[in-house]
Structure 1
Amino acid sequence: MEQDKNKLTRRSFLAYMGLGTASMAAMSVGFGTLAEKAEAAEKSNDLFNGSTNMFSAKFNPIQPSDMDELVLPSGFKYDVVAAYGDQINEKGDTFGFNPASPCFFPLNDAPVNDSNVHGILWVNHESGSSVWVEGTKQSGHYATDQVNKLLYNMGGTLLEVSRDKSGVWHMVGNSTYARRITGLDRFEFTGPARGAKAVGGAAIVQGTLANAAAGKTLWGTVLSCERHFEDTCRVAGFNSTHYGWIVEVDPFDSTFKLRKHTSLGRLHHGNAAMGLSKDGKVVVYTGDDVSGGCIYKFISKGEFDPEKGKANSELLTEGALYAADMAKGEWIPLIIDKVKACLNDYQFKLPDTLKQTREVLLGMYNEPADIYVYPREAALILGATPTVRPADIKIHPSDNSLFIAHTNDYSKGSLHGHIVRCIEEDGDLGAIRFEFEFFTAGGRQVGFSSPGKLSLDDNGNIWVQSDISSDRIGKGAWAKFKNNGMYLVGKAYPVSGGVPQFASAPREAEFSGSWITPDEGTLFLTVQHPGEQTEVAANPTSMWPHRPGDSGPRPALVAITGQ
């Protein structure tokens, strides 16, 4: 049984990443030899229909660009699959604003009968815009219709998509799968904070907000992450403890209850990376994507059973939440009695990173559920390490090591951020001890700044999508990099000589997540906030994607393929 569970772990990662046969051949080796091993493996399918897959091929890198265009190397093209405001179904639902982190679920239905050119896409929607979405405040306040428009354009979109014979990706207009999940929908709390005093006794709450990242579960659903939710809560008059959770959605079944899993903690979630421990328990890693944010993992109480299918969702309702002490290389269990013991010991010095007084903190921790509502304060009190904006975490399929993107923290002098690699003891995701090392730092010598999203390719290379703030793009210390981009870091190219750039975003935009089809024939990529510095709609700073009839920029989901 132990051997079967380990096989399941590795295969599950292939499904998540879209990794092919080369990764399967590399499963028994360490990261250091992954690229060489994979290069010799059989390749039955090639990314973007090239003679070698794009992620290991020596494509012709592009130069940094300040053009108002999505720039790709020669031999590649993109299709705009859906942009803000596009109708997605016959009901009249529209694609939301600022898309992020697509997840592709293959379909194998007639008449298409090819799961690589037909599927369902989940896309997050992170925020609105006073210029392009909800509009400006009137007399210092938003009207009800403005608030509802803001809430509608957050959450997520489910699209049915297909690739036609000419190689163009498009939405399926009459799809029964296409629908919106928004800030107006009804969600159910699961786990320890359901009905707790700290959340106002709520079991049912309204909506999901600020959805910035997503991941697949082992049972075929989506985990969507609520990140920077506070401003929207203030605008809408919401209880902020109802937001900052990880949400589960079933892309195939609209009757599946929308739920927020409180066992995973209330944070500014930058990601949700799922795997299995050696004893078959579900493990979910997430980063608190703020200045001084810690790194967390959840380990389920029960074991995963593939025969139970989507009933395995119950595993996310009960388990232990941990935070990382990087100095000691230990995962600290977040336990309320230990937190209270520290707070009641007046010899205990509160961490400088905590803004609350001891009395306020004592009032926050009264029952076990409070650990999950306020995990950040608990983690810092118990000795977890504050870090530089942990924005994304990926689990490498060869050895279960973690790659963590720390975007930047201007207030701490980290202008360009860095990426670290963590190695769990014995390669076990359920381990309590780990080691970590710096994988690479952003900056001029490398060629990119501010890593925001990460992807892994078939040969074990790391792909980085940068997240330079739009008001700093092309200026000062960031001038060299020009627009945000997508870069290859790994065995195919030496970091010391600078990394090759694969894509450049339009003006003031960022790439906010990617996914590849199982045959590595298509890369789906989200483009957020082109023209973000626009102050007046009549004078936009970007017009991407330059479609006929558009009067301004449109954040969008694109599909990249070979010519």
Structure 2
Amino acid sequence: MAYNRREFISFLGKASMGTAILPPFLKGCGNLASPVTNNLLTSESTLDALKSVNLEGLSPSNVDDLLLAKGLDYHVILRWGDEISEKDSFGFNNDFTCFLPFNEEDATDGLLWVNHEYVNPLFVSGFDHRKYQNAEEHRTKEQVDKEMYNIGGSIVRVKQTDGKWKAVKNDPHNRRITAKTLMKFNWDNPINGASTAIGTNSNCSGGITPWKTFLTCEENYDSFFGETEYDNDGRPSHRDSWQGWEKFYAYPPEHYGWVVEVDPKTGLAQKHVAIGRYAHECCTLYELADKRVVAYSGDDKNNEHLYKFISSKPGSLKEGILYVADTVNGKWLALDWESQPVLQEKFKDQTEVLVRTREAAKILGATELNRPEDIEIDPITGSIFVALTNNYDKNDFHGSILKIVETDGQYDALTFKASTYMAGGEKNGFSCPDNLAFDMAGNLWFTSDMSGSKMNKEDGPYMAFKNNSLFVVPRHGKEEGKVIRLASAPNDAELTGPWFSPDGKTLFLSVQHPGEQTSDINDPTSTWPFDGDGIPKPAVVAITGDLIEKMNKLHLL
């Protein structure tokens, strides 16, 4: 659907909790726009303004700091351990961010959702496995409890005053969702004998719904409670996790690996079984004209798949069919037990298909991809962009961005065309794309996810790129189509969760796991954000400045 200029600008301002009805739109991992016609972005005044933007990109850097290009500034909003209420504090390793203003007329006051993906026990609980020959014998339940508290998500009211964003401490909306928060399964049949799960973990990227709730996605869920694996005869066995939580809490692995929806006003959460169980990087929604929703999600693991859920009822993330992509032949394959005899041979019902989604996808012949991570919908063309981070096993060290064009531009279509939009590598100046976001002028922003253990190694593939970074691909002007580095992360960190404020003047961004390669807490590999105690802390920052406003010029004209 296309809007005229006035309708589009009006729509952009309605991403707030106070709006009862929105036009058909998409909401995803940092995306605030809906596909629009090109003439909206090609008026003479708009193009002149965009051409005037002087982008002076950064060179690769391994400086232990958050470095920004000319025309940008940042300030820290929240860091690990900050008190958000009398009983709660901000969690560890913040990832996806999402901002919902209270009032559509005021973009400076609202709720910030932040994912907390995982913990570094050395910092969070004081557990250092390197000190012991049999490390787990020395771990305590109290240490695990600290770790469980520090993952999940945070809801915090933030407000901008005199150009600075600050958390509103003790606001009634402020709360934590943790690995011990009780949440229901949005499904009629029990999951491993239960209708509820205890907690959420591995919260990587996410999304937002048309009804203005948060989606947080459980990615590397097997890191905490392990996984159930099946042999050729269907006999199950347990694979241990590397975090080892199941030694203290025997929670079923099947209760994790889902898309979780959180109500920002109440904190109530539910897990959506119909979207499938796998390492969800994000969940990007598009609302069709009849109010049915389409949800795109990728499985962030080597040789896994791209998925799409199409609801059969308006506003439902339960009733509908989950599909997996065959990108070679351009087909969406139905993971539907009733219509797929080959799935009936392997699984007893649709619930088992959804619990064992990865196995079902491979039975149908879905295309193996190189770690499909974040997904965004281009606000100009409507194409779907998918970050394929890398795949060491296939010698794909630098990854690429995949473009999906649904047939006739219909998001509930069952056929599509796939192509590579841009490949990583030294030629294009980036490696390992991860989180994606489009701004109001259609410029593509993305972050990189080079492993901390492999960055800045003379004999490795990433030496030329140095620290992880934030990039932009301008849509117009003299730099159109080029990859430009606008931010460089502190040591060992990655930049995650880019999300623009509704007025386009602020980019919320997470700085995740600075100092992750630290082996001695008294000699950390990073000390960012330089709080004076010498301890690195994950944090969420607000990036502002003249350059941000110019890049979002469409909204300001």
TM-score bracket for the superposition, by shorter chain length: 0.7 to 0.9
Which residue of the partner structure matches residue 262 of structure 2?
A: 249
Q: What's the counterpart of residue 400 of structure 2?
A: 418
CA shift for structure 1 position 115: 2.3
Relative to structure 1, is the Cα distance of residues 204 and 319 closer, same or farther in structure 2, using a 3 angstrom cutoff? same
How many percent of aligned residue pairs carry the same amino acid?
38
Q: Work out the CA distance in 1 between the residues paired with 2:433 and 2:222.
A: 23
Contact 1:402 1:421 in 2 (8 A): yes
Residue 96 of structure 2 is aligned with which of 84, 98, 101? 101
Q: TM-score, normalised by structure 1?
A: 0.84
Shift of 1:69: 0.4
Distance 2:358 2:52 in 1: 39
**Pair 1:544-2:536 in alignment:** no
Name the CA shift for 1:324/1:497 in 2 (closer, same or farther; >3 Å).
closer
Is 1:521 aligned with 2:505? yes
CA separation in 1, counterparts of 2:24 and 2:375? Answer: 19
Aligned match of 1:85: 81
Gapped regions of structure 1 (runs ≥ 5): 44-51, 304-311, 345-361
Match of 1:161 among 146, 153, 158: 158
Compute the RMSD of aligned alpha carbons: 2.9
Query: 1:16–1:373: structure 2 CA closer, same or farther, 3 Å change rule?
Result: closer
Partners in 2 of 1:498 and 1:221 — Cα distance? 35
Give the Cα separation in 1 of the matches to 2:330 and 2:414.
8
Alignment correspondent of 1:348: none
CA contact (8 A) 1:191 1:318 kept: no
Aligned-pair distance for 1:241? 0.3
Q: Which of 176, 196, 214 pairs up with 1:180?
A: 176
Output the CA distance in 2 between the equivalents of 1:540 and 1:56. 42
The residue number in structure 2 matching 1:216 is 208
2:111 counterpart residue number: 120
Hey, what's the Cα distance between the residues in 1 that align with 2:23 and 2:69?
32
Partner of 1:306: none
**What corresponds to 1:148 in structure 2?**
145
**Secondary structure at the residue paired with 1:107?**
strand
Aligned residue type for 1:398: I
- Aligned partners of 1:2 and 1:503: how far apart in 2? 33
Mapped to 2, the partners of 1:267 and 1:281 lie a distance apart of 23
Match of 2:456 in 1: 474
Q: Would you say 1:368 and 2:350 are equivalent positions?
A: yes
CA contact (8 A) 2:405 2:418 kept: yes
TM-aligned CA distance change 1:102 to 1:38, over 3 Å = farther
- Superimposed CA distance per residue, residues 517-542 of structure 1 (whole angstroms, 9 cap, x where no aligned partner): 11111110001110111011111000
SS of the residue 2:361 aligns to: helix
- What's the TM-score once normalised by structure 2's chain length? 0.85
Contact 2:474/2:482 (8 A) holds in 1? no
Which residue number in structure 1 is paired with residue 283 of structure 2? 272
Contact map agreement 2:186 2:270 (CA 8 A) in 1: yes
Aligned amino acid, residue 243 of structure 1: Y
Cross-structure match for 2:311 = 300
* 1:204-235 residue CA offsets vs partner (Å, 9 max, x unmatched): 11000010011110000001100001121142
Q: Secondary structure of the equivalent of 1:157?
A: strand
The alignment partner of 1:535 has SS state of coil
Q: Deviations over 1:255-302 (max 9, x none)?
A: xx3100101100100110000235442110000000011000111110
Q: Distance in 1 between matches of 2:432 and 2:478?
A: 19
The CA distance in 1 between the partners of 2:405 and 2:45, in whole Å, is 26
Query: Does the 8 A contact of 2:29 with 2:374 survive in 1?
Result: no
Match of 2:121 among 115, 130, 144: 130
Note closer, same or farther for the CA distance 1:456–1:278 as it changes in structure 2 (3 Å cut): same
CA 1:504–1:38 in structure 2 vs 1: closer, same or farther (change >3 Å)? farther
- Partner Cα separation in structure 2 for residue 289 and residue 16 of structure 1: 15
Using the alignment, how far apart are the partners of 2:105 and 2:343 within structure 1? 58
**Aligned residue among 400, 414, 430 for 1:432:** 414
Greater Cα offset, 466-475 or 396-405: 396-405
CA distance in 1, matches of 2:280, 2:396: 21
Alpha-carbon distance in 1 for matches of 2:374, 2:269: 24
